[in-house]
Amino acid sequence: MKNLVIVESPTKARTISRFLGEDFEVIASMGHIYDLPKSKLGVDTEKDFAPDYQLLKDKKKTIDEIKKVSKKADKIIMATDLDREGEAIAYHIAQNIGSKDVDRIVFHEITKEAIEEALKNPKKINKDLVDAQTARRVLDRLVGYKLSPILWSKVRRGLSAGRVQSVALRLIVEREREIEKFKKSPYYTILTTLKKDSTETIFELLEINKEKIEISEELDLYDGEYKFTKTSIEAQERATKIEEDLKTKDFVVSDVTKKEMKRTPPPPYTTSTLQQDGARRMGLSGRRTMQLAQKLYEEGYITYHRTDSVAIADSARNQMTEYVKQQFGDKYLPETPRFYKNTSKNAQEAHEAIRPAKVSVTADRITKDLGAQYGKLYEIIWRRALATQMADAITESTVVMVDAGSGAYTLKANGSVLVFEGFLKINPFALEDKRLPDFVVSEKLNYVNSLSEFHETLPPPRYNDASIIKTLEEKGIGRPSTYATIISTIESRGYIEREESRFKPTSVGIAVNDFLVDNFSTVDDIPFTAEMEDELDQIANGEKEWVPVIRQFYDPFEKILDKVKDVKRVKIEVEQTNELCPECKKGNLVVRTGRFGKFLSCSTFPDCKFTKPLVQETNLLCPKDRGKIVIKKTKRGRRFYGCSNYPKCDFAAWKLEDIKQAAA
C-alpha cells in the first residue's frame, strides 16, 4: 500500500508529487483543520486555559478523505511547514485521524534532494512547537475577545483589539505625534564650484575660520530615511555674505586623502529584510510580498520564506560558489567561504535564510512560469543570495580639502572610484564612479561660482511597510510569520490609512490607541510584548510550560478588565468642515469614519442623521479630460487617485508623481 504524505496546500502537494514515486500519495489539508470558535471565547480560563478547538466546517470533506486514505496507508508522513503553525497542523491532523504513529519530515526547500534527505531522517511531531502555537493562539484570543467588548462600550461599536497589532498601532500613533510637534528650522548649505584646467568640481563649505559649521543644538536628528549630515548655516543674510566673500578668495588644495575601502555583500534575506526590500524596490505590502514568496516556495523555486536565520547550507554554498566560478571566474570568489552570524537572539539556527533552491534557475524562467511580479521578487532573492558567495567590491575613496583665504574657509569634495566590482557584478544598483580630477596639494584652483541652498529640517517620516517591519523586528514585536498580518489587520480595521504609501492613524485609531495606553499600559507596552514573544520562544524550545506563562499574564489582566468597566466613554475626534448641513440647516458637516471609510455627517447627530459620501479633492487636474483629481479607496481600503468624472473618464494612479508624469 502507498505511503501517505500530508501537506497544507495543493500547490505544495503537486510540487512534492513530482519528486516521489508511485509508492507515495500526497494530500493537502488546505491549511488548518482546527480553530477556536468565532462565536465565543473558546478558552476555559478555569481549567488551565484549555482551548476548545473545533473542526472547521469547510474541512470536514477534506479530513474525511484523509482518514479514508490513511486507513489503507502503510505509513503516514506529515510534511507541513517547518514553523509552529505547520507543527500544529500536523499534530491536529494526527489527532483527528486517530493515528499516533506518524512520521514528521521537515525541509527548507521543495527539491528532490531535500525531500529524499528528509524521508531518510524522519522525526516525531515536536510537541514543544505545538504548545508554543497553542499558547500564542490562546493568548491572542484572550486579549482580542476580552478587550473588544470594552472597546465597543467605551469607544465605538464594532471595534476590536489585538495583542501585537495594538503595539504596532501605538508606534504609528506616537510617530504621528512626533511629526505634529516637530518645528521646522531653516538652514543653508553653501556649494562652491572650482575649476582645475577645464574640469569643474563642486565643493561644500565645511569650516569657517577653522571651526566646523554645526547644525544647531535644538534641531532633532533622525536616522532612517532622513539623516541630516550636511553643514548648516541658519541665516540667509549670513549665507549671502559668505557667498560674496568667497568670490574674493584664493583657493588652494590643502589635502588629498585616498583610501581603499572594501564593501561586503549584505547577508541573505530573512522574512523581515525580504519584506522591507519588497516594499522599497517593488512597492509591495508585506502581505503581498509573503503571498508571492509562498508561491515561489511551494513551486520549489526558493527555500522556506518564514525565517529569521541568515545561515546558508553547505550544499547551497558549494552550488553558488561553482556557479560564480563558471559564470564570472575565480577572481569573483571570496578568499575564504563567507558566513553570516544571526543578529536575532531567537533566530532558529536549524533554519536557513531565503535563497534560490537552484541557483541555475533564472528570473526569466520564473516570469514565464508564474508572472512578472514573481520573477522580480525571485530576482532580488537570487541576487542577494548569490552575492553572499562573491568577493568584496573594492572602491577607492578620495577626500579633497581646499583652503580659501588662508584659513578663512575650508571646503571639501568627496569622490569614489570602483576599483573592482566584486559582488556588484550582479547588482543592478551598483555604485557609479564619482571620479574627481587628480588634485595635487598646494595647487591653486579657479573660482567659478557659489550657491547657497535653502533647506529645512524635516520631521521623522511616517512609517511605511519597510520601516514599520524593521522597527517591529528591532523591538522584538511579533515574529517572521506575523509581520504582514499585523499591518494588514490594523489597516483593515480602519485604524490606519495609507497616504503616499505611508501609514497615518485615523481618528478611530488614535482613540483606540489612547484608550488602550491609558487603561491597559501593560498589555500595550512594547517591552512587555517583546518579553512575551521571548517566553513563547522559550516554550517552543522546551524551556517553559505554556499554561503557567498564560496564567502569569491573565491573572493581572483580568483585574484590569474589572477596573476599566467604570471608565468614561471615549469621544472620537472628528474633522470639522465649513459646509452647513443641507437637511437641518443647524449643524456643520463633519468627517466621520465608518466601516467603509470616511464620510460626511451632520455635527448634531443623532438629532440629524444626514450623511453623504466624502470626496477628497486635490489641486491637480486629470491628464485625460482635465477633470478634478479626487482621492478614492479600493474595496480593500487602499488609497488611490482618480478622475472625478468617472465612469466617463477611467484615469487612476496610485501616487501623485504618476499623475504629474502622465500630465508632463
First to last CA, the chain: 69
- In single-letter form, the type of residue at position 350 comes to A
pLDDT of residue 46 exceeding 80:
yes
Model confidence band, residue 467 (pLDDT cutoffs 50, 70, 90): very high
| Cα distances (Å, whole numbers) of residue 484 to 107, 272, 451, 466, 497 | 23, 9, 46, 11, 15
Average pLDDT, the chain: 88
Cβ-based neighbours of 396, under 8 Å, separated by 6 or more: 258, 259, 260, 261, 416, 417, 419
Instruction: Determine the pLDDT at residue 183.
Output: 87
Phi/psi for 243 (5° steps) reads -55, -45
- What average pLDDT does this structure show over 621-628? 87
- In single-letter form, the type of residue at position 314 comes to D
Instruction: Determine the pLDDT at residue 224.
Output: 38
554 annotated active-site: no
For 265-307, how does the pLDDT look when each residue is reduced to its tens digit (9 = 90+)? 999 999 999 999 999 999 888 999 999 999 999 999 999 999 9
Instruction: Determine the pLDDT at residue 222.
Output: 39
| Burial class for 276, CB neighbours closer than 10 Å (0-12, 13-18, 19+) | buried
For 183-218, how does the pLDDT look when each residue is reduced to its tens digit (9 = 90+)? 888 788 899 999 999 999 999 999 988 888 754 433
Read out DSSP for 302-343?
BS-S--------HHHHHHHHHHHHHHH-GGGS-SS-------
The residue from 34, 187, 301, 304 that is catalytic is: 304
- What average pLDDT does this structure show over 397-404? 96
Could you tell me which residue, 256 or 340, shows the higher pLDDT? 256
Model confidence band, residue 173 (pLDDT cutoffs 50, 70, 90): very high
Cβ-based neighbours of 447, under 8 Å, separated by 6 or more: 192, 194, 195, 246, 247, 249, 251
3-state secondary structure 157-214: CCCCCCHHHHHHHHHHHHHHHHHHHCCCCEEEEEEEEEEECCEEEEEEEEEECCEECC
Instruction: Determine the pLDDT at residue 85.
Output: 92
Secondary structure letter of residue 299 according to DSSP = T
Q: For residues 627 and 243, give the distance between their C-alpha atoms in angstroms, rounded to a whole number.
A: 46
Instruction: Determine the pLDDT at residue 230.
Output: 40
pLDDT of residue 639 exceeding 50:
yes
Which pTM was predicted?
0.83
For 48-64, how does the pLDDT look when each residue is reduced to its tens digit (9 = 90+)? 999 999 999 999 999 99
Instruction: Determine the pLDDT at residue 523.
Output: 76
pLDDT of residue 326 exceeding 90:
yes
Give me the domains of the chain, ranges plus CATH numbers: 3-125 (3.40.50.140), 134-181+464-564 (1.10.460.10), 186-264+393-456 (2.70.20.10), 271-387 (1.10.290.10), 574-613 (no CATH), 615-664 (no CATH)
Model confidence band, residue 478 (pLDDT cutoffs 50, 70, 90): confident
Sign of the Cα torsion 525, 531, 532, 534 reads positive
User: Residue 4 in contact with residue 27, Cβ under 8 Å?
Assistant: yes
Instruction: Determine the pLDDT at residue 221.
Output: 37
Cross-strand partners of 55:
34
Could you tell me which residue, 388 or 521, shows the higher pLDDT? 388
Which range of 65-69, 255-259, 529-533 scores highest in mean pLDDT? It is 255-259
